[in-house]
Amino acid sequence: MAKSKEVPAKKSSRPLPKSAGSPRKTKVTVPEPLIPFAGDRPLNERRSTGKAFRIKLPRETHANWVRQSDFPGAVEIVMEGNKGRLEKYVPLRLARMAASPFSFYRGAAAVMATDLASTQITGVMAVIDGDAHINNFGLYGTPQRDIIFDLNDFDEAVIGPWEWDLKRLVASVNLAGRENGLNARERATAVRRTVRGYRANLNRLEKLGVLETWYLHAYPGRENPLGKVDPKSKAIWAKAVGKAERQTNQTLLGKVAEKVNGHWRFREDPPILTRVDSSTRNAVEKALVEYADTLHRERKFMLSRYRIADVAHRIVGVGSVGTRAYLALLFGNGDNDPLFLQVKEAIVPALAPFIERRADGQFSHEGKRIVTGQRALQASTDVMLGWTQINGRPFFVRQMKNMKGSIPIEWLSGDAFYFYVWACGAILARAHARTTDSALLAGYCGNSGVLDDALATFAESYGDQTVRDHAALVQAVKNDRAVQQMMGK
């Protein structure tokens, strides 16, 4: 197996076709400060302000969606997104996206970003995940080693309209429902539950203090403040939590590495895990030295006690396939103290062409943008989270295994599926409430099912479109031998 070699570049980008400009006349503008929070105003007054947004943008309007006539084409956007990636992994990216409509959706954030740019918005901004589909929620361990449920992927995080996150979520619920065999009525019910979870948590959060909101964590298995959990869901979550508790650096060591002639090294598993050449390893090691300066000082002391044993390239996800993603194995206090750090390329977010991004220090470096977004949205972040660069390309760094786990969505049905999507909606509301006024959003969303119904209609329409986009991609790669080989055909 040939060793992968890092190719120098001045910057990382996610270009779009020349015809793929936003249908908007102007980009979404992010105000400074993000939200002119009026905490001295009574709660009911701020909620009324949010309710008044319905005059400008009735909630029913969110049901309306058609692809714009100047849309450049889903396949064209996907293919353009391959530029700048490691070419030998592009066939694998396309193969994974071609596996199903939901897999296509996961890898096609740029396609939906172009579609969302033509939708109407209230103008309320927040730090948003940018890719809040249901597979980007999961379990992980806090620094106190508790397991919590939260958003867990922030590669696309930006400051933008809160609606874009919610629409990305509900469309994913519709598509996952299709794969799980839900009919149109059941899919609509699932989307309504998602939006209801979002609204219900906003109604709770608007009454809490700002700091209290930032303290909130979702602990699976503990009493749910928003409602009862069905027995089947309890059992599924308990099993997932137990599995997450066993996902540690120590357990990963035996799966991916071995000791050869007294030295630890990664065990190759191509194309997922492959060795890198000496120049790439040196570049990654140098980047980790620079990364240490982005950690809090006490954590920099902690990192200094580890030494690097080996570096490999490791493919992750669907949309990220082809980007440069390295895995570093370090040891601290002997062989029983391993640490795995993922050093992942940070590319320009899919929503960037449609937002006037602030050129301040938090967002001038794509790796720092991701870290800032994660710290803003997550209840508790990885203590090893930081950023760096390799050959001019921005990267971010995090632990590879941090008691991480996920709920097996493909196995969920009935009440268990409905509860899971409801939980995702509730978590998304809490994430948004950390950087915007939840009373404004609660006032706009309201207590009735109007928004629920509208987004159920939107999600079904967008689900239909994604099925067509997926079919177009499958047709486009049909005669590509490299992709067919990756698909096992």
189 Cβ contact list (under 8 Å, min separation 6): 418
* Whole-angstrom distance, CA of residue 57 vs CA of residue 315: 42
pLDDT of 36? 58
pLDDT of 40? 73
Dihedral over alpha carbons 249, 129, 425, 135 (to 10 degrees): -50
* Whole-angstrom distance, CA of residue 407 vs CA of residue 228: 18
Q: How far is CA 230 from CA 206, 221, 415, in A?
A: 27, 11, 7
pLDDT of 438? 95
pLDDT of 356? 83
From first CA to last CA, the distance across the chain in angstroms is 22
- For the stretch 337-383, pLDDT in tens is 999 999 999 999 999 999 986 655 556 799 999 999 999 999 999 99
| Per-residue confidence band for 27, with pLDDT thresholds at 50, 70 and 90 | confident
105 Cβ contact list (under 8 Å, min separation 6): 112, 133, 171, 172, 175, 466, 470
Q: Where are the domains of the chain?
A: 41-132+148-220+407-486, 249-399
| Per-residue confidence band for 23, with pLDDT thresholds at 50, 70 and 90 | very low
Q: How many CB atoms sit inside 10 A of residue 461's CB?
A: 17
Mean pLDDT of 401-409: 89
Mean pLDDT of 248-255: 92
Mean pLDDT of 194-200: 98
CA 216 to chain CA centroid, nearest Å: 20
Mean pLDDT of 450-454: 98
465 Cβ contact list (under 8 Å, min separation 6): 67, 115
- For the stretch 66-124, pLDDT in tens is 999 999 999 999 999 999 999 999 999 999 999 999 999 999 999 999 999 999 999 99
Single pTM value for the model: 0.92
Q: Is the peptide bond before 33 cis (omega within 30 degrees of 0)?
A: yes
pLDDT of 443? 98
Concatenated DSSP letters for 11-34?
-------TT---SSSSPEEPPSSS
Q: How far is CA 96 from CA 92, 108, 273, in A?
A: 6, 11, 16
Strands 158-161 and 125-128: antiparallel
Concatenated DSSP letters for 326-344?
EEEEEESSSTT-EEEEEEE
> 160, 168, 171, 166: which is closest to 128 by C-alpha?
160
